[in-house]
């Protein structure tokens, strides 16, 4: 498959094989088949879990890679019983009541004995006897929900989509009307509900949750009673909301332009495109020209193909450069509206050579249909921004790439083929944001560009209000010690803030 056309013919790299420690592939003899273990990765980390699984298998234990109905014993580390139950509930096993929920101490004692040992009280997870009912679990979960998204784990699975979708519509409408307070309130509430391991079934379930104001509770109550909110229905039928939603779907069109077009009487994109008096920016012209492509979701495969093409070009100039796919795809989303790539180089200053050389190469290969370079405005003498939504000052390129599709099916008749050629092209336009960062700031840039937006907003708010620090995509400043805190990875940033590390795929706030 020719993804990028003949001008960019670079052999696709084969993905390196990752060693899988699955039970089905294990070469170790199973001595204790009646005990089926699952070791939770939560709060443990991948490396330690992999080591413990391999150790157990070498001792003759049957250990599953994934949580299955065959599992009899769940082993956790630094997790309470309620936390484990909440996680198990989200996994939707047929019957969790039969499971033994055990502390890692039971596993290590088994390893020492070389066989499964009798379960004692010291091996039970904390407060196990008090957390078996669903109601108690929900009450305890609600009491422990932090007001900050950076202290909540939010996977892609959303048990409360009916509510959060409604909140997002209302938040968007408030944003279109420049009403920042209620907009933020609904987005915070949506973020909280996304993190819950259970579905809201009654108003009692939201008691004790942060950011549940009266207006938000009224919307929840309406949905619980009638499966929809009259307030949401009203917004969806509102002419201004529908117009703004349509206008902002065009690449390069923001709220100010949408307001202007709405006040001029425009309601459809066709009339805007046909009006000769309107002066569109270069970005907006590209947005209209490739509109159908750009509103089509970008798949994970397309993102990886673009990422590979960018790497191949960048590595011709700087073989040691790092090119990282960030944004929603790093959070394990399968689709997105664009592709964010973070580029750096371990050799100080070398990253400044990358962008313009790469653009020249892509122009020669006819891979760019639009690009706009924003040069760096970073000033290392300035402190991190106090604004939670502040943009960073890195060198950037907002581009539209050509991603070539499969060649036309040769089985199609010549006549049909000619007709297809007149109506279609063999490539898709895809939005790509390239961000160039100095290596010393890479960890902070990676954290910031991974998102989600609400997670990053709360991370900065937490730094300011709870730690007397200032955080942005460039640095972390401790106002008490009056020093910048260095970090070589995201884990160190979380440690500076006194936060438990949260994996990228648990930041979908």
- In this structure, the number of other CB atoms found within 10 A of the CB of residue 473 comes to 23
Helix (H) or strand (E) holding 3: none
On whether the CB atoms of residues 145 and 192 are closer than 8 A, the answer is yes
DSSP 400: E
Q: What span, in angstroms and rounded, lies between the C-alpha atoms of 216 and 232?
A: 12
Buried b (16+ CB within 10 A) or exposed e, 50-81: bebbeebbebebbbbbebeeebebbbbbebbb
The residues facing 434 across adjacent strands are 341, 397
Q: What span, in angstroms and rounded, lies between the C-alpha atoms of 185 and 170?
A: 10
User: Choosing from 340, 392, 458, 472, which is the catalytic residue?
Assistant: 340
On whether the CB atoms of residues 299 and 3 are closer than 8 A, the answer is no
340 appears as a binding residue in the annotation: yes
Helix (H) or strand (E) holding 32: strand 32-39
Helix (H) or strand (E) holding 415: helix 414-423
**Taking Cα atoms as reference points, which of 239, 211, 431, 476 lies closest to residue 339?**
431
338 classed as catalytic: yes
338 appears as a binding residue in the annotation: yes
Q: Cα-Cα-Cα-Cα dihedral of 291, 295, 301, 305, to 10°?
A: 30
Cα end-to-end span (Å), the chain: 36
293 appears as a binding residue in the annotation: no
User: Choosing from 65, 139, 372, 433, which is the catalytic residue?
Assistant: 433
Measure CA 332 to chain center. 6
**Taking Cα atoms as reference points, which of 430, 323, 426, 303 lies closest to residue 6?**
426
Q: Supply φ then ψ for residue 302, to 5 degrees.
A: -65, -40
Q: In what order do the strands lie in the sheet with 427-436?
A: 322-325, 339-344, 427-436, 395-404, 368-374
Rg of the chain over Cα atoms, rounded to whole angstroms, equals: 26
User: Choosing from 338, 392, 458, 472, which is the catalytic residue?
Assistant: 338
The residues facing 336 across adjacent strands are 298
Q: Supply φ then ψ for residue 256, to 5 degrees.
A: -65, -45
**Taking Cα atoms as reference points, which of 371, 365, 376, 373 lies closest to residue 313?**
365
Residue tagged 């009638």 (tokens) = 226
Residue ranges of the annotated binding site are: 338, 340, 433
Catalytic residues, which ones?
338, 340, 433
Known binding-site positions for Mg(2+): 338, 340, 433
């Amino acid at each position: 498959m020719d993804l990028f056309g003949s001008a960019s013919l670079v052999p696709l790299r084969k993905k390196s094989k990752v060693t899988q420690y699955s039970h089905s592939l294990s070469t170790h003899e199973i001595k204790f088949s009646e005990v089926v273990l699952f070791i939770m990765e939560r709060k443990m980390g991948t490396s330690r879990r992999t080591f413990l699984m391999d150790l157990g298998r070498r001792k003759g234990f049957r250990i599953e890679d994934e949580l299955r109905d065959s599992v009899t014993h769940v082993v956790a580390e630094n997790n309470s019983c309620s936390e484990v139950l909440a996680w198990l509930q989200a996994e939707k096993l047929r019957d969790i009541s039969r499971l033994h929920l055990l502390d890692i101490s039971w596993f290590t004692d088994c390893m020492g004995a070389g066989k499964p040992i009798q379960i004692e009280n010291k091996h039970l997870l904390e407060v196990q006897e008090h957390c078996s009912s669903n109601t108690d679990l929900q009450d305890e979960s609600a009491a422990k929900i932090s007001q900050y998204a950076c202290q909540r784990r939010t996977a892609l699975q959303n048990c409360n989509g009916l509510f959060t979708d409604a909140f997002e519509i209302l938040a968007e409408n408030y944003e279109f009307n420049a009403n920042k307070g209620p907009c933020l309130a609904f987005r915070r509430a949506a973020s909280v509900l996304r993190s819950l391991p259970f579905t809201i079934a009654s108003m009692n379930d939201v008691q004790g949750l942060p950011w549940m104001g009266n207006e938000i509770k009224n919307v929840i109550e309406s949905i619980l009673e009638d499966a929809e909110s009259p307030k949401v229905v009203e917004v969806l039928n509102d002419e201004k909301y529908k117009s703004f939603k349509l206008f902002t779907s065009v690449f390069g069109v923001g709220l100010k332009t949408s307001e202007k077009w709405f006040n001029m009487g425009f309601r459809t994109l066709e009339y805007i495109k046909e009006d000769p008096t309107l002066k569109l920016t270069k970005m907006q012209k590209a947005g209209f020209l490739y509109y159908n492509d750009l509103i089509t979701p970008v798949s994970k495969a397309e993102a990886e193909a673009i990422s590979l093409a960018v790497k191949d070009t960048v590595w011709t100039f700087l073989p040691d450069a790092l090119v990282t796919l960030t944004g929603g795809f790093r959070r394990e989303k399968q689709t997105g509206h664009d592709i964010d790539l973070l580029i750096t180089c371990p050799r100080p200053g070398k990253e400044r050579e990358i962008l313009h050389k790469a653009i020249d190469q892509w122009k020669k290969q006819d891979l760019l249909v639009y690009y706009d370079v924003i040069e760096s405005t970073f000033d290392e003498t300035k402190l991190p921004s106090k604004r939670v939504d502040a943009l960073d000052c890195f060198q950037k390129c907002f581009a539209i790439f050509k991603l070539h599709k499969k060649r036309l099916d040769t089985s199609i008749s010549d006549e049909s083929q000619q007709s297809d050629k007149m109506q279609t092209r063999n490539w898709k336009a895809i939005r790509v944001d390239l961000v160039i960062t100095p290596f010393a700031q890479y960890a902070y840039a990676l954290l910031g560009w991974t998102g989600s937006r609400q997670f990053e907003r709360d991370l900065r708010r937490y730094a300011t209000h709870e730690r007397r620090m200032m955080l942005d995509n460039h640095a972390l400043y401790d106002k008490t010690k009056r020093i910048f805190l260095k970090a070589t990875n995201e884990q160190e940033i979380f440690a500076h803030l006194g936060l438990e590390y949260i994996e990228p795929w648990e930041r979908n706030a």
